[in-house]
Structure 1
Amino acid sequence: MHAHELDPQRPNPARMYDYFLGGFHNFEADREAAEAAEAAFPGVRASARANRDFLRRAVRYMVAQGVDQFLDLGSGVPTAGNVHEIAQAANPGAHVVYVDAEPVAVHASEALLADNPGADIVHADIRHADAVLSARQVEALLDLNRPLGLIMASVLPYIPEDDDPDRLVARYRAALPSGSYLTISHGSVEDFDDTETDSVYKVYNSSTSPITSRSRERITSWFDGLELVEPGVVVVTGWHPESGDTPVKLRLPHYGGLARIP
């Protein structure tokens, strides 16, 4: 599996995201790139925070529907408000398996989860779905014959078209039994012209994982045949908002949705 090697000199989106969220698991190259991205396209930081709030609300929703096990793909660095914290606060027996290719994210997660028997992390590239689904941690903590919450929060932008994100989503969907839920969020700059977005692309394309924007229609297509929870695929700040959300006015559309596997 092509899990990343650690390169502190080259910015990594997972560590940049950690920086945007106020975390400490990042290097100077990540901080500089994150600030460059925010300068190039003000609103990137707000989008990261709004996405984190969406994730929190989606997990709470799934727990309320009786889901007690989660697979979080491309989970990133464990900053405040992780899936296991949210799920286990509502149901102490909930199990969570994270998957990430970034060594800092994995090491930080291992340290955080050392005393948590209900959560673990797989060091893997999510593009290798068969290997992820058969990983030791998945087999130990998750029962793929029971409803499961599959989370793909802000990870598909880092799956280029050459790696066929449609096929990847379908492969993971196929592993989920009836009653499971699929959560996806994805940034989109389709409504902006190139002069506004070129510089932010340049920042991310020099990182370990270049970024791809996709339209709301494309994001929605990944839920085809599933039972979309109202209000459907919308800008994340509009999905079941709560009073505790970080107050942001999103300039950068970040779409999110949650659907039940019939």
Structure 2
Amino acid sequence: MPEVDPQRPSGARIYDYYLGGPHHFAADRQAAAVVLVTIPDLPAVLRAGRDFLRRAVATVAEAGIDQYLDLGAGIPAPGSVTEVARAARPECRVVSVDVDPVAVVHGRRVAGDDPHAAVVLADLTDADTVLGSEPVRRVLDPGRPVCLLAVAVAHFIPDTERLGRALERYRDAAAPGSYLVMSHASHEGDPRAAEHILRVYNRTTSPMMLREREEFRALFGDWRLLPPGITCAGEWRPAADQDSAAAPGREVIVGVAVKP
């Protein structure tokens, strides 16, 4: 199992810290504080994206889906795919994939000896390796619908052609009735904040890029988007008591689609 260095800040643990998770060290909190000096609203934006994830997974689970392939899962945080899906379907199966050894270490510790959960250390753009891995073949049934998730990760893959090919491979492998849940950083909301976030992350080990709605829509291929289609995180099926117009997260565009 990969080693965890508590003295070296990790992008995955910093993200966990922003979300209110427990998997971070002093070095991660110090690095997060530096970013917050210039982008104080970043945690609220990230939490808005996480709230979308919860609503999307709940929607998919209510539709009957009981197996999930979480691509670029990161460190398990409150409101994780497993937590939300199992609230509706306790026996659901979840395989998480991440290229970051730190995220994989924490993910495997949380999964423990759960026979219906597994974590794969792999680059999600290497779709054949992911789909052919022992955990995926053991835990997921390719003959039944699955929910594919690529939440808060596609903007860290600047090679659009490579990303598109990988997602096409996952879509082709999925059974009819499968779902695809995605979110992505964009120029929407406050353009200056978006550009500032872009500059900050491009000085880290996790450079990122922003995509427009048309580019993001293309990543779903010919799958049918659920209403309201491509929209901001806070506007995708908000809770009845939520003011979507005032909600943070306009810098995050999202969508959920189903395979015909």
Provide the residue aligned with 1:207 in structure 2: 204
Q: Which moved more, 1:152-161 or 1:114-123?
A: 114-123
Partner of 1:72: 70
| Candidates 213, 217, 221, aligned match of 1:216 | 213
Q: Which structure is richer in relative contact order (CA contacts within 8 A, separation 6 or more)?
A: 1
Cα gap change, 1:7 to 1:127, in 2 (>3 Å): farther
* In structure 1, distance between residues paired with 2:2 and 2:188: 29
Structure 1 SS opposite 2:149: strand
Q: 1:235–1:254: 8 Å Cα contact kept in structure 2? A: yes
User: Is 1:46 aligned with 2:30?
Assistant: no
- Classify 1:157/1:43 alpha carbon distance in 2 versus 1 (closer, same or farther; 3 Å): same
What one-letter code is carried by the residue in structure 2 that aligns with 1:211? M
Residue number in structure 2 paired with 1:114: 112
In structure 2, relative to structure 1, the CA distance for the partners of 1:5 and 1:113 (3 Å cut) is closer
Q: TM-score, normalised by structure 1?
A: 0.88
Q: Partner residue of 1:140?
A: 138
Give SS of 1:241's match: coil
C-alpha root-mean-square deviation of aligned residues, in Å?
2.6
The Cα offsets for residues 12-58 of structure 1, whole Å up to 9 and x where unpaired, read as 43222101011232244433343333332342211111111111111
Structure 1: stretches of 5+ with no match in the other structure: none
Deviation at 1:118, TM superposition (A): 1.3
Equivalent residue, structure 1, for 2:152: 154
Give the aligned length: 259
Q: 1:98 to 1:9 in 2, by over 3 A?
A: same
Q: What are the residue-to-residue correspondences of 1:166-185 with 2, within 5 Å?
A: 166-185=164-183
Relative to structure 1, the CA distance from residue 188 to residue 8 in structure 2 (aligned partners, 3 Å threshold; closer, same or farther) is farther
**Alignment gaps of 5+ in structure 2:** none
In the TM superposition, what whole-angstrom CA distance separates every residue of 1:200-223 from its partner, at most 9, and x where no partner exists?
A: 333212322111111122111212
Runs ≥4 residues deviating over 6 A? 244-248
SS at match of 1:164: helix
One-letter code aligned to 1:23 = G
